């Protein structure tokens, strides 16, 4: 059966199905290689990210030897979690650095970390790690809402393999759509 349609003067059902299948494969490839959506749950990244927002976690930034940078907001799997729950946190410490926490403020290699993104300072309701020497493949992650975040201060650093990508866009709700800046501490 032939019909006249948007794909040309004469298009068969098979041809339409072929194009739809190609579109599905391309969309799946984009989600696999470029970005995947992640629903924000909890208050650990407030005030910058809120419960119910959906962010796109893009993977291209970290392909090959591209480095994870301080200040990046990343999706990482929770260490020691058999379900491999994905969290978003901010990168504070990089491989080989010493991260110190004094009075709720971070220092990197004995230099105070100036954070240029919004944070909620304070002490969480658990015992924090005070000093961590990161190994060659480890990163120290923290939530922006310091008293309300379970992060590397509690469960230690994550490895590069745990980091799944960088938060690049907030895509939901529509009033919150925005690009996620790569805010680098000074």
- Active site (catalytic) residues: 44, 89
Instruction: Please list, in sequence order, all residues whose beta carbon lies within 8 angstroms of the beta carbon of residue 102, skipping any fewer than 6 positions away.
Output: 130
CB 157 within 8 A of CB 140: yes
CB 146 within 8 A of CB 123: yes
C-alpha to C-alpha distances, 134 to 44, 61, 92, 152, 177, nearest whole angstrom: 22, 22, 11, 11, 35
């Amino acid at each position: 059966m032939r019909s006249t349609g948007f794909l040309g003067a004469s298009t068969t059902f098979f041809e339409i199905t072929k194009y739809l299948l190609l579109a599905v494969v391309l969309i799946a490839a984009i989600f696999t290689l470029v970005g995947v959506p992640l629903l924000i749950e909890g208050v650990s990244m407030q005030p910058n990210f809120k419960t119910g927002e959906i962010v796109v976690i893009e993977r291209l930034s970290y392909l090959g030897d591209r480095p994870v940078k301080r200040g990046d907001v990343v999706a990482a799997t929770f260490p020691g979690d058999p379900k491999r729950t994905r969290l978003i946190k901010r990168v504070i410490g990089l491989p080989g650095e010493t991260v110190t926490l004094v009075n709720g403020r971070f220092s990197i290699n004995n230099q105070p970390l100036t954070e240029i993104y919004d944070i909620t300072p304070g002490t969480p309701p658990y015992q924090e790690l005070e000093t961590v020497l990161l190994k060659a493949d480890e990163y120290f992650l923290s939530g922006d809402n310091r008293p309300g975040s379970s992060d590397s201060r509690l469960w230690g650093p994550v490895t590069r393999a745990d980091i799944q990508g960088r938060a690049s866009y907030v895509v939901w709700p529509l009033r919150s759509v925005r690009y996620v800046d790569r805010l680098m501490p000074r």
